Amino acid sequence: MSSPTNSPGPAPAGTMSEQEYAANLRRATLSSSVGSALEYFDFAMYGLMTALVFDRLFFSTSNPAMATVAAFGVYGVGFVARPFGGLFFGTIGDRIGRRWVLVTTIILMGGASTLIGALPTYEQVGILAPILLVLMRLAQGFGAGAEQAGATVLMAEYAPVKKRGFFSALPFVGIQAGTLLASVVFFLLTLMPEDAFLSWGWRLPFLGSFVLILVALFIRAKLQETPSFVQLEKSEQVAERPVREIFTRGRAGVVIGAGLRMAENGGSYMFQSIALAFVTSAAIGMDRGAVTWGVTFGSLIGIFSVPLTGKISDRVGRVPVYRFGAVFMLLFAFPAWYLLSLGNELIAVGVIAIGLGIAVNTMLGPQCAMLPEMFGNRHRYLGVAMAREISAVLAGGLAGVLGAALLAWTDGNWIVLAIYMATLAAITTASTFLVPETRGRDLMRIEDAVRISTTEQDTATSALPEPAAEIVQDAAQAPGRAGGSLTPALDPERPHRRR
């Protein structure tokens, strides 16, 4: 067995200088952030439009309540497409690499969003209008199904081990920036005369997303492949059938990962969309422009709370921070929806801001590193994508459809909405007791964290052919390595380079 100092590292690790590593880390952060901003700008804008105007633009207004349900149904269609996109692009990402998948998904997702801004309305073409909207939502969701998973995996595999929680959370500031931008743009649009807004004003933010596509493509074209995937190629361990692996070895991680996201994902869309539809309904009658400030302030809080909770998870662990956020939402659900029912705009803005900025984002911060750490290197992209997107259908997509239906069936009863949110939070709280602590886990490992026992090193390396197993075992025994990590020649401040 070779000595630790002579063990080869991943291909880029041995040749990448400090300056090159820093440049690639910055580029990965910026690339992931812009993609996240575009995705959540589109989805937040679509959610705001769905809650407040799309029912009038793309559906018959003869029955306003059912038009709202139909609008949220199309909103949910995008979530239905996401697991299929995650499955398709996640498989490619685990077979040929993360970089080019991220280029493809940004084109597909952003292109569909831009085309939404050019669609005819129900008044212009009748039933063809919602059909075209469904097609665009399917394309948008198909691309988004792997976009956020790819950004998550990309940053986790580039980030320094001891600071992985913090660095992995930075691109998710793009989520807050995208949501913030969407709410501010929507508020400005509401200042337009209503006829102009319904005629052409609503199209502007969708058409404008084309600019973000160009920026993201420019950055991603220069991005290098992640060190973890390069190491897979070097050791000839790239999965030939990642789908088979994820449904045989990775099922537990996908199920638990989806459970972890129920409160974060479902809660996010409930506060961004259902809460707005609830407080602007005829029963309560708040001004739509005023209450969108809750989303704005929630996003502002998230710009700080997401990286902060990611950093805290580097110190105390992912699970305790995540569990705190889930329990907070569980306790907040009933007071939140009761306060929203009071009809006070200032209170409503505060409730939505706290729900998004603290309850949701306290889970999002540690999640950015936690999900990639839960899966082995051979099927990490696909595992993260499936966990994220299955939960997106069950929590995010269903939240819109079920929430709108509950509003219609119960004449705006806040209790049923509180029960629904509390149920999502309870599922996530329970899931935090099923996942082991993943902080500092070596991302070169090929086995999932959920399946690992105290014999983790032996079971993980036994599946590796020589010389790969020898490299991993040598690195694990080398002095000065961080936290028992098995990354070859691991430097605590640089995850994958030779010392």
Task: Report the alpha-carbon angle 5-496-441, nearest 5.
Answer: 105
pLDDT per residue over 486-495, tens digit each? Answer: 333 333 344 4
Is the pLDDT at 1 greater than 50? The verdict is: no
pLDDT per residue over 384-419, tens digit each? Answer: 988 988 888 888 777 667 777 777 787 778 898 899
Inter-residue contact 259 to 402 (CB < 8 Å) = no
Instruction: Kindly state the average pLDDT of the residues 49-68.
Output: 79
pLDDT for position 236: 66
> How far, in whole angstroms, is CA 245 from its chain's centroid?
23
- Biggest CA–CA distance in the chain, Å, is 77
pLDDT per residue over 194-241, tens digit each? Answer: 888 888 888 998 888 888 778 878 877 777 777 888 777 776 667 777
Q: What pTM does this model have?
A: 0.75
Inter-residue contact 84 to 14 (CB < 8 Å) = no
Instruction: Kindly state the average pLDDT of the residues 80-85.
Output: 85
More confident residue, 249 or 298: 298
Give dist(CA 470, CA 466) in Å, integer: 6
Inter-residue contact 284 to 272 (CB < 8 Å) = no
Is the pLDDT at 4 greater than 80? The verdict is: no
- 333 HSE (CA, 13 A, CB side): 24
pLDDT for position 351: 95
User: Cβ neighbours of residue 128 under 8 Å, at least 6 residues apart?
Assistant: 120
Instruction: Kindly state the average pLDDT of the residues 40-67.
Output: 79
Is the pLDDT at 381 greater than 70? The verdict is: yes
Q: Which of 335, 361, 369 is nearest to 438 (CA)?
A: 369
How many residues comprise the chain?
499
The region of weakest confidence among 135-144, 295-304, 378-387, 443-452 is: 443-452
Q: What sections of 343-467 are H helices per DSSP?
A: 345-354, 361-374, 380-391, 398-409, 414-431, 456-462
DSSP at 224: P
pLDDT per residue over 458-484, tens digit each? Answer: 343 333 344 333 333 333 333 333 333
Is the pLDDT at 317 greater than 70? The verdict is: yes
Distances (CA, A) of 191 to 187, 279, 289, 307, 435: 7, 19, 8, 33, 47
